[in-house]
Chains A and B, each alone.
Chain A
Amino acid sequence: MNFEEIVMPATVAEAYEALTTAENPVILGGGGFLKLQNRRVHTAIDLSRCGLEEVHLTPDCIEVGAMVTLRTLETHPEMPRALRTAMKNIVGVALRNLVTVGGSVSGRYGFSDVITPLLALDAHLDFHKKGRMSLEAFLESQDRTPDILVKIRIPRAAHSAFYNVQLTYTDFSMVNLAIARNHHLRIAVGARPGVARLIKDPDLRLTPGEILEKIKFAKDDKASGDYRRTLAETLLADALKEVSQWK
């Protein structure tokens, strides 16, 4: 992507002002995915000086600023296990030091290994203008009014885990699955290749195939829908075995 001008606001309020007044603007998170786009815009709004790189811990949740990098999610000892595991095979350390959780969520990428664990963990998003909404509602919403994602609130789950299948160590997932239990059991399935979908409180007497029955899997150049479904059922069987060990 190319742009003519860059603004580097010191606060989210200033960044939002630029978003609503600048000519043909784009928000820059880590810039990793924007870099790949063949697109020309006028003004890039850089969030790197808005103080969104902090992680705050509260007794019941972890608040992660939108500019926190995937490497911080991977290495921060308080992050839920599903999230830490999911980061490990996203390309390499250098990329993970660049790209952000805010850009990963805002992009609503179907392949995402970031959205899947956050959905299972029941993350909530704080936007500058729209306020708070669940990640689940954000992924379903058709509202594309520009806004700035400020932080992500992740409830502290008692247990969580992440599973995926990649052709090579650092490739995109062919399918991924996260499972978390706080008061409820939540399963998220992503890289279907569409964006992750959620299953809440499944009946554990059902087989993995039955639990995943309503989830749609499709074909792309990585795998067929049927193959993805078979993989997801296997991952879920492994995950449920793990759940049975959770105290």
Chain B
Amino acid sequence: MEIILKVNQKEHHVIVDPDEMLLDTLRRLGYKSVKRGCDTSNCGICSVSIDHKLVPSCSYLSVRAQGKEILTVEGLEEEARLIGESLTAEGVEQCGYCSPSLVVAIHTMLEELKNPDKDEIKHYLAGNMCRCSGFEGHHRAIKHHMEVNLNGGQ
């Protein structure tokens, strides 16, 4: 079936199978930042934002995404660069496989929660697995991003 998907503000006319998952369609369209981990909505590695909500694209049907705003890390541009710098500054990135979904998750979290504290961050990101680093680094990086990039260096 032919559907129209709006990814990072750009419309794509694409033919999908009825049971095709958004992860596969996005990668077919060239959004290679979207990665596959568990393929069972457990690890969060495939997460994208749909209408400002974080969802696992491995378990979200492409046909359901019609008419919605899909956001991947490619669409975050400058914000992704700044979050990436904070992750690097805190020594969090190792293999980097989880980073695109982590950056999108940080973006949706900061849309949803204004100035989250450590417990709120921990709770929000509990479903985003990272097999290399410890999660403490993630908290430091988010704090760094909030302090340096969002609150004008306060």
For B123, list chain A residues within 8 Å (CB).
88
Chain A, residues 15-45, CB within 8 Å of chain B (1/0): the string is 0000000000000101110011000000010
Stretch at the interface among B56-64, B77-85, B146-154: B56-64
Minimal Cβ-Cβ distance residue in B for A89: B126
Q: Tell me if B59 and A98 are in contact (CB < 8 A).
A: yes
> What separation, in Å, do the CA atoms of A93 and B48 have in the docked complex?
12
- Whether, in the assembled complex, A230 has its beta carbon less than 8 Å from a beta carbon of chain B, the answer is no
> What separation, in Å, do the CA atoms of A2 and B124 have in the docked complex?
31
Contact of A3 with B54 at beta-carbon distance under 8 Å, contacts A91-B41, A94-B127 already known: no
- Whether, in the assembled complex, B100 has its beta carbon less than 8 Å from a beta carbon of chain A, the answer is no
Interface SS of A by simple majority? mixed
Q: Tell me if A6 and B127 are in contact (CB < 8 A).
A: no
> What separation, in Å, do the CA atoms of A7 and B37 have in the docked complex?
29
- Whether, in the assembled complex, A4 has its beta carbon less than 8 Å from a beta carbon of chain B, the answer is yes
Chain A, residues 53-83, CB within 8 Å of chain B (1/0): the string is 0000000000000000001000000000000
What is the count of residue pairs linking A and B with beta-carbon distances less than 8 angstroms?
74
Interface SS of B by simple majority? mixed
- Whether, in the assembled complex, B25 has its beta carbon less than 8 Å from a beta carbon of chain A, the answer is no
Q: Tell me if B126 and A170 are in contact (CB < 8 A).
A: yes
From A3, A8, A89, A98, contact of B19 by CB (8 A)? A3
Contact of A35 with B55 at beta-carbon distance under 8 Å, contacts A92-B127, A95-B127 already known: no
Contact of A6 with B61 at beta-carbon distance under 8 Å, contacts A98-B56, A170-B126 already known: yes
> What separation, in Å, do the CA atoms of A168 and B133 have in the docked complex?
18
- Whether, in the assembled complex, B42 has its beta carbon less than 8 Å from a beta carbon of chain A, the answer is yes
Interface residues on B, range: 20 to 34
For B64, list chain A residues within 8 Å (CB).
46, 48
Q: Tell me if B18 and A44 are in contact (CB < 8 A).
A: yes
Q: Tell me if A93 and B40 are in contact (CB < 8 A).
A: no
A interface residues, tally (CB under 8 Å): 29
Q: Tell me if A94 and B18 are in contact (CB < 8 A).
A: no
Q: Tell me if B40 and A44 are in contact (CB < 8 A).
A: no
Q: Tell me if A1 and B127 are in contact (CB < 8 A).
A: no
From A8, A71, A89, A170, contact of B53 by CB (8 A)? A71
From B56, B109, B124, B125, contact of A95 by CB (8 A)? B56
Chain B, residues 43-72, CB within 8 Å of chain A (1/0): the string is 010010000011110111101100000000
Q: Tell me if A35 and B59 are in contact (CB < 8 A).
A: yes
> What separation, in Å, do the CA atoms of A94 and B127 have in the docked complex?
7
Shortest B127–chain A CB gap in Å is: 1
- Whether, in the assembled complex, B128 has its beta carbon less than 8 Å from a beta carbon of chain A, the answer is yes
Q: Tell me if A97 and B19 are in contact (CB < 8 A).
A: no
For B21, list chain A residues within 8 Å (CB).
35
Shortest A112–chain B CB gap in Å is: 16
For B127, list chain A residues within 8 Å (CB).
91-95, 170
Q: List 7 A-B contacts (CB under 8 A).
A: A4-B18, A91-B41, A93-B125, A94-B47, A94-B55, A98-B41, A170-B126
**Other than the known A35-B59, A46-B64, A97-B55, what 15 A-B pairs have Cβ atoms closer than 8 Å?**
A3-B19, A4-B18, A6-B63, A31-B59, A31-B61, A35-B40, A35-B41, A91-B42, A91-B127, A92-B44, A93-B105, A94-B105, A98-B59, A99-B41, A170-B127
